[in-house]
Structure 1
């Protein structure tokens, strides 16, 4: 019996290169425990071609999987995956695997979305519907009332409060808070300063999901390359401050530890 876990990171139209490359890097280094982690990217074409069926067999722990849908914009995810693609993802999770949604991937994993960016809004339902409620953002109170856009003013470091009493500082850029239906069954793993749900999880059949409104996956080397090195002179001071927080040795660890616990429970290796 092998302890190999495959972590697939979705890389296709709409995904942020910063988020994809960071997830590929940090999933490899921050997920350990009793597992050998194999990390690779996956496209909509791969999903539609049943790559999960090729790699994961019911009742076989070999290459059990975690699917990460990273940050970016979720409407292209819908365009590529609505219908068959999302049916495949739901089946993948429900038979005993894990879905991780980060920022746009978090919105995508909720049943409904209410998003306000600078100059536009997105409202509607989502097919995966793992979280029984609505993903709502962007959260202006975290960014000096600035709605989400590509500018540095809508980026922030925010403190999360965890269910076990711990805290950490994590990068925020346009993510959601998760408003559950009345009597919904789910877990609140962390909240924002105002008590609203920042990171949630739950069960789907034999599998589990975790949705995050914050970018816990960021890798400092990649952030420096894609954000700081390309920043305008007027934005450089704030980008450098953001990078300093991401460089903390424990950055993102509390959420990655929760994913490890989910893996232990789900895969029962």
Structure 2
């Protein structure tokens, strides 16, 4: 009998940290229980058996527009059908923006990226980036606009609310507007923004569910340092790694809880 598969998208738009994400997920799982597989857009278009043994589809951080260019139409329909039939979608940062009803990235600015998205797993607007968390520094692809931000989990994710630092780099908050009866569960909130908006959410989609996170729980102090190596201003950003180290055990525990929320067996 084939092992259940963890499928992770690695095609155009995904960040350099995707390999680290795959490794971090694999390290938390019950040994030998799953096969971790990298997936390209062509697999989603042409591999008829791709989702036959899949338990989880991971859309990592990176850039939303290349995801749209490669996956709009039939590939997105396959992802949605997989979830509706009982699968789980885990969207991180750009993968979270991509799975909301619509996104508003830097709305009102020259480089704004706004509009509806096909997956529409969560009936919310994904709003970002969040300069309130970065001291007003605008998002770019360098570590300059990354930080360690404080989030607090809710009872929907952990038995008792847990406050911890998580890596943030251009991610979103989830705006449900005036809706008070939305179907999404709020798993964690940003404590550094007025009103404590949602930072991590999940929602039922048919027989399956989607889990979306604006922060990178998979990034530890060590991964933070690895990402900084080779940058001329590495020393100026080590404070981010030090913050992550302060709540490293809690961050890992919450990351594991997120995987358990996805129905995975942990080691």
Common fold: TM-score over 0.5: yes
Give, in whole Å, the separation in 1 of the partners of 2:251 and 2:182.
30
2:5 matched to which residue of 1? 6
Give, in whole Å, the separation in 1 of the partners of 2:92 and 2:68.
15
Q: Is the aligned partner of 1:69 residue 2:59?
A: yes
Q: If the length of structure 2 is used for normalisation, what is the TM-score?
A: 0.86
The verdict on how the C-alpha distance between 1:5 and 1:242 changes in structure 2, with shifts beyond 3 A counting, is farther
Aligned residue-pair number? 252
Which residue, out of 46, 49, 52, partners 2:46?
49
The within-5 A match list for 1:163-202 is 163-164=154-155, 165-181=161-177, 182=179, 183-193=181-191, 194=193, 195-202=196-203
2:231 matched to which residue of 1? 231
1:15 matched to which residue of 2? 14
The within-5 A match list for 1:54-203 is 54-56=50-52, 63-116=53-106, 120-164=111-155, 165-181=161-177, 182=179, 183-193=181-191, 194=193, 195-203=196-204
Give, in whole Å, the separation in 1 of the partners of 2:171 and 2:256.
18
Q: Is the aligned partner of 1:251 residue 2:251?
A: yes
Post-superposition offset of 1:244: 3.7
Q: If the length of structure 1 is used for normalisation, what is the TM-score?
A: 0.86
1:26 matched to which residue of 2? 24
Please give the per-residue CA displacement for 1:78-111, whole angstroms capped at 9, x wherever unaligned.
Answer: 0000000100000011101100000000000101
| Alignment RMSD (CA, Å) | 2.3
The answer (yes or no) to whether the contact 1:50–1:88 under 8 Å persists in 2 is no
- Structure 2: gaps of 5 or more residues: 156-160
Post-superposition offset of 1:50: 3.4
The verdict on how the C-alpha distance between 1:41 and 1:222 changes in structure 2, with shifts beyond 3 A counting, is farther
Give, in whole Å, the separation in 1 of the partners of 2:186 and 2:236.
30
The answer (yes or no) to whether the contact 1:101–1:212 under 8 Å persists in 2 is yes
The answer (yes or no) to whether the contact 2:148–2:244 under 8 Å persists in 1 is no
